Structure 1
Amino acid sequence: MRTTMNAALIKHYKQDLPTIEQVPMPKIGANDVLIKIVAASINPIDLKTKDGGLKMLLKYEMPLILGSDFSGIITEVGAAITNFKVGDPVYGRVQKNRIGTFAEYIAVAQGDIAIKPANLTFEEAAAIPLVGLTSYQALHDIMKIKPNQKVLIQAGSGGIGTIAIQIAKMLGAYVATTTSAKNFELVKSLGADQIIDYRTENFYDKLHDYDYVFDTQGGKILENAFKIIKPGGKVVSISGLPNERFAEEYHLPLWKKLAFRLVTRNLTKLEKAAQADYHFLFMKPSGKQLETLRTYFEAETLKPVIDRIIPFSEIADAFNYSHSGKAKGKIILRISAIEKS
């Protein structure tokens, strides 16, 4: 029986790049499964975590294994597991206090996983959990998009954007998106109805009276979203700042609520002036929603978009490429040699 495994970790915040080292094998609880990870994806949250950008929301002990979503095969089940068995091919997004998918094995709560879409490779399946859940929760759960409503999805050729466009179209929306001219054909093929070249055009000069904006950029781009939103609309951001609504939803202590109120004063003013709602989305892992997404991928209503697949041993190159911001779709790490179910 193995006692150690390879894992990519950091020993302190703002470490240049994660390093692969030998660490103890994870132990499972009664409601956990042990998974041999076949593939994992790199997400912006991994870079933010490495650089300490989420310290106000999450505190981690060092050394820390990075990685948030994965696909793989169950090798062991806890005593209370009834929905899965050894050998099942699964995919998932781990809880934020249990990250660590850039490793050969991980222990995961059964509620955070689902059976892998049968028509996808492990690499394709690994491209889905974080971006799929984030997009679904933004567009379906918070916005509650209805047919013919208008939504702007920022950065349409990125990991989030490529899935979000497809989900928005599946829900019947008219979709505008921003990207560079070289990616027009890609986002058009995913269903985008109107495309803004962010290098030569301002989206707020081209778009008006939108029901929703899905912001993935933050900063001034987020602030400008309120220029196009109609009264009663919603701006949902994964890159902006948490506000009081977020603090109340997560039952955070009063001092954090007051801190969020202070740092989002300008956003609150824009929100009130536009008569719109601002939501900061901190995606929640959900095996149930992954089951829902699985049906869409198996029906080929949705499809993963992968920029490249990189061997685990070259994780430094994968992080550097992610930092470049040039990826079209997802960057996948192949952790093990298994490629297909």
Structure 2
Amino acid sequence: MTETVRAIQITRFGDPAEVIGNRQVPIPQPVDDEVLVRVRAASINPVDWKIAQGDYPPVGADKLPLVLGRDLAGTIEAVGTRAHYMLRHGDPVFAFIGQDRGAQSDYVVVRAVELVAMPAGLDFAEAAGAGLASMTAWQGLFDHGGLEAGQRVLVHGGAGGVGHLAVQLAKWKGATVFATASADDRDFVRSIGADTVIDYHAERFEEIATDCDLVFDTQGGAVQRRSFDCLKPGGMMVSTLEPLEDEAAARGLRIAPRYHAMPNAAQLGQVADLLAAGTIRVEVANRFAIGDFAAAYDDARHAHPRGKLVLTLD
């Protein structure tokens, strides 16, 4: 094994096209319950380029230099002293890791409580796309939103990385699912379980998705404000962006505090079971070799891809 490996890293904040680079970093070493994973694929999420711009408050200048990426799939390379009993060299795994490490690297140290076995039938790119997006959807819908069978939910951005998993998880839970999407994505979003797909360019979602128990908002701003009209009295707004708490209170509606998805191997294990059963799936919009990271990040920022963008590290 070489002493350094490739990693997508920032050393300062600024324009992502200028500050994100493919650099050599030391190979991390696992201790205690950590494992060293040889990364085969790692996904790109909006938070990655927001971090690069300095627009993600949990990551300040004191955290630099920083390897980007929070979710990955790969194989076990080495284990710490307290992890050897549960994992073996070569085992395929996927994970959603903490902010203190970056997944977009040839090797990354992962805590045993952050990873699960990769479901049979998935390739590494599909598994890599599941981590952050599925936990954002799961924790938003169920932990913060309390979604239950028989309820009505509106998912914004139903074809996006988080949105397409939120649609599927809500449908699995037994909810009636409304979702916004572009006309080009209407058939796709319907195929993954949405009962009603709303073309946000041509239709006013608040006139269609009415009397909802929950709105899962991935857009913020004016979309979130209009979405209050979709909620029935006592309904809940959950947003991945800044929640409009004062407006919700003025209208007698509930709104969850802004949340950041947290690694949770128990929940990720349930997602793995759903993936293995074919109940849900990860849509991979495009795969980029790590050497094409600049094109991948440009696509992530400007192309509004369907599903997830993934870096491959073979």
When normalised by structure 1's length, the TM-score is: 0.87
Q: What's the offset of the Cα at 1:205? A: 2.6
Answering whether residue 196 of structure 2 is matched by residue 218 of structure 1, we say no
Q: Tell which deviates more after alignment, 77-86 or 102-111.
A: 77-86
Structure 1 runs (4+) greater than 3 angstroms displaced: none
CA distances 1:43-69 after superposition (whole Å, capped 9, x unpaired): 1111111111112x3335222111110
Aligned pair in 2 of structure 1 residues 106, 295: CA closer, same or farther (>3 Å)? same
Q: Which of 138, 141, 152 is 2:140 aligned to?
A: 138
Answering whether residue 285 of structure 2 is matched by residue 307 of structure 1, we say yes
Answering whether residue 217 of structure 2 is matched by residue 239 of structure 1, we say no
Answering whether residue 194 of structure 2 is matched by residue 192 of structure 1, we say yes
The amino acid across from 1:226 in the alignment is: F
> What is the distance in 1 between the residues matched to 2:16 and 2:246?
35
Q: Which residue of 2 aligns with 1:258?
A: none
Q: Which residue of 2 aligns with 1:39?
A: 41
Q: What's the offset of the Cα at 1:121? A: 0.7
Q: Which of 257, 267, 284 is 1:279 aligned to?
A: 257
Q: What's the offset of the Cα at 1:278? A: 2.9
Q: Which residue of 2 aligns with 1:204?
A: 206
Q: Which residue of 1 aligns with 2:110?
A: 108
Please say if residues 41 and 128 of structure 2, whose CA atoms lie closer than 8 Å, have aligned partners that are also in contact: yes
Please say if residues 226 and 274 of structure 1, whose CA atoms lie closer than 8 Å, have aligned partners that are also in contact: no
Q: What's the offset of the Cα at 1:227? A: 1.6
The amino acid across from 2:3 in the alignment is: T
Give the gaps of 5 or more residues in structure 1: 242-265, 337-341
Please say if residues 245 and 255 of structure 2, whose CA atoms lie closer than 8 Å, have aligned partners that are also in contact: no
> What is the distance in 2 between the residues matched to 1:178 and 1:138?
17
The amino acid across from 2:304 in the alignment is: K
> What is the distance in 1 between the residues matched to 2:255 and 2:249?
6
> What is the distance in 2 between the residues matched to 1:284 and 1:75?
24
The residue matched to 1:92 in structure 2 has which SS? strand
When normalised by structure 2's length, the TM-score is: 0.95
The amino acid across from 2:262 in the alignment is: K
Please say if residues 150 and 210 of structure 1, whose CA atoms lie closer than 8 Å, have aligned partners that are also in contact: yes
Q: What's the offset of the Cα at 1:224? A: 1.8
Q: Which residue of 1 aligns with 2:129?
A: 127
Please say if residues 217 and 240 of structure 1, whose CA atoms lie closer than 8 Å, have aligned partners that are also in contact: no
Q: Which residue of 1 aligns with 2:298?
A: 320
> What is the distance in 2 between the residues matched to 1:119 and 1:291?
15
Q: Which residue of 2 aligns with 1:259?
A: none
> How do 1:87-98 residues align onto structure 2 when only pairs under 5 Å count?
87-98=90-101
> What is the distance in 1 between the residues matched to 2:247 and 2:186?
34
CA distances 1:290-320 after superposition (whole Å, capped 9, x unpaired): 1111111111111111111111100000000
Answering whether residue 10 of structure 2 is matched by residue 10 of structure 1, we say yes
Q: What's the offset of the Cα at 1:129? A: 0.7
The amino acid across from 1:231 in the alignment is: P
Aligned pair in 2 of structure 1 residues 167, 116: CA closer, same or farther (>3 Å)? same
> What is the distance in 2 between the residues matched to 1:4 and 1:97?
19
Q: Tell which deviates more after alignment, 28-37 or 10-19.
A: 10-19
The amino acid across from 1:129 in the alignment is: G
